[in-house]
A and B are shown apart, each in its own frame.
Chain A
Amino acid sequence: MTGLCTPLGPGSYLAFLLWALLLVALLSDSQLWLLLIIVLAFGWLNRRAGWQVLARRRFWLFILSIVAPAPFVLGEPNVRWGVLRLSQAGLEAGLWMVVRAVTLTLAFSVSLEVLSVTQMVDLFDALGLRGLGFALGVALNLGSVLRDMVEATYHTLRLRGGRRRPFQSLRLFLITVIANALRYGDDVVKAASARAFDPTAIQWRGNHILEGADKAFIAGLVVLGIGLLLDKTGI
């Protein structure tokens, strides 16, 4: 990862996500655009991480499906547009809903897309969940093996006339896939044990969950969050 946020560790991104979620819940509609700008800027500083979600047609279709009916069903109709009677207040409410949705979706995308798998594993290690980090690493490498296993089982059953007895074949398919996966899992256990892997051992890599830059970043988030919340109350 490069960019202005290079010194930040995984703890900072996790803190940013929690901070954004908290503020989305606490801030009023009219203040959400500030949060949206901050989230967009944070993504931009991290090589536009998470921005690709904005380029997806399905995302905008989803949002449009909520915004479009808002001027018709929210508030009192006060604007006439051809044969349609629309509510300006309803349209405004719909637009604020969009700001909220985009902010939340971007906060998730920015925080999770910036983290590499290694950083996620390190984060679990730092939180004392080494086993979960190990499991994530194993799971990521198992995906292609499982797909091959499923494919081989399917073709074997199909070539033996499995389609003539679909229910019995489905039962055999499920049993074979799970049994083969468990056998493969046992091989992984042997390999891990041969390397003396201990999921309960504390692994010291010389890095804490929060380094100096992370602490400064989180302090900045706290100050910014308090500022936004005080502004909400008009102080």
Chain B
Amino acid sequence: MKFSAYTVRDWVYVALFGALWGTLEITLGAYLHVIFPPLANTFFSGLVMAGMGVVVALVGSYFVPRTGAVLSIGIITALLKAVSLGGVKVGPMVAILAGAVLMEVALLLKRVPASWRYVLAGSLAVSWNLPHKFVMMRLLYGKGFTEVYLQMIREGSQLLGLDMGYAVAIIGALFVVRLVVGAGAGWLAWELAGLVARRMGRE
């Protein structure tokens, strides 16, 4: 990553898209967490916030086509989230940074911007939502949590008279939904950035 090659314009655009993502996280993210409390539903609010974050960050990378731009946007967003009124929230900060790293990795594959790279970047970033919960729980509660979770799945399956395989199938289906939403967000970012660039005469 060569930050020395960044111009003032690049840094201002990084700030701009970081602020846009941060504003979404602080306002809409807070609303969604009130409407869908994290204990009851992390799937929906996580999916919406990750999808929107992907659109903003990838549109940003279109206008700052440099290595490290998406990661920088993610760092700014995470710091804005940290200094927001709600206080430091470890989970969303880790999710934002992990999403940004995954998008950056996908964009590193080839330097020339292409729609498929945006789709890949979006899919990777949104699909992080699934392991995120497990990683955070493992970090926060230690290895005992895994036992609790597995036991709860086993007992839940027995209670509902379902095979354990169904639980795995449900998790797999939710993962596919995340991949599809991420791909859609990546494609939307590509289209949207192209439209804006054409209208502003920047192509």
Asked if A44 is at the interface (CB within 8 A of a chain B CB), the reply is: no
Query: How far is the CB of A127 from the nearest CB of chain B, in Å?
Result: 11
Contact A135 B72 (CB under 8 A): yes
Smallest Cβ-Cβ distance to B202: which chain A residue:
A182
Chain A: interface size category: 35 or more
Inter-chain CA distance A155–B71, complex, in Å, is 33
Asked if A23 is at the interface (CB within 8 A of a chain B CB), the reply is: no
Chain A contacts of B83 at CB under 8 A?
Answer: 112, 117, 140
Contact B200 A179 (CB under 8 A): yes
Known: A105-B90, A199-B6. A69 touches B12 (CB 8 A): no
Chain B contacts of A61 at CB under 8 A?
Answer: 39
Known: A142-B16, A182-B63, A185-B12. A175 touches B199 (CB 8 A): yes
Contact B3 A131 (CB under 8 A): yes
Contact of B87 among A52, A73, A93, A186 (CB under 8 A): A52
Asked if A233 is at the interface (CB within 8 A of a chain B CB), the reply is: no
Asked if B9 is at the interface (CB within 8 A of a chain A CB), the reply is: yes
Asked if B134 is at the interface (CB within 8 A of a chain A CB), the reply is: no
Query: How far is the CB of B153 from the nearest CB of chain A, in Å?
Result: 10
Interface locus among B106-114, B138-146, B167-175, B176-184:
B138-146
Which of B15, B80, B137, B147 has the largest count of A CB atoms less than 10 A from its CB? B15
Asked if B32 is at the interface (CB within 8 A of a chain A CB), the reply is: no
Query: How far is the CB of A203 from the nearest CB of chain B, in Å?
Result: 14
User: What number of B residues sit within 8 Å (CB to CB) of A?
Assistant: 54
Contact B12 A192 (CB under 8 A): yes
Chain B contacts of A142 at CB under 8 A?
Answer: 15-16, 19
Contact B88 A112 (CB under 8 A): yes
Inter-chain CA distance A178–B55, complex, in Å, is 11
Asked if A129 is at the interface (CB within 8 A of a chain B CB), the reply is: yes
Which secondary structure dominates where chain B touches chain A?
Answer: helix
Interface locus among A3-11, A95-103, A160-168, A224-232:
A95-103
Q: Which B residues from 7 to 27 make CB contacts under 8 A with A?
A: 7-16, 18-20, 22-23, 26-27
Inter-chain CA distance A199–B14, complex, in Å, is 13
Inter-chain CA distance A138–B142, complex, in Å, is 38
Inter-chain CA distance A135–B8, complex, in Å, is 9
Contact of B142 among A29, A135, A186 (CB under 8 A): A29
On B, residues with C-beta under 8 Å from A are 3-4, 6-16, 18-20, 22-23, 26-27, 37-39, 59, 63, 72, 75-76, 79-80, 82-83, 87-88, 90, 93, 137, 139-142, 144-145, 147-148, 151-152, 155, 192-193, 195-196, 199-200
Query: How far is the CB of A206 from the nearest CB of chain B, in Å?
Result: 23
Asked if A82 is at the interface (CB within 8 A of a chain B CB), the reply is: no
Contact B13 A112 (CB under 8 A): no
Contact A104 B140 (CB under 8 A): yes
Contact of A73 among B76, B152, B195 (CB under 8 A): B152
Contact A143 B80 (CB under 8 A): yes
Smallest Cβ-Cβ distance to A177: which chain B residue:
B20
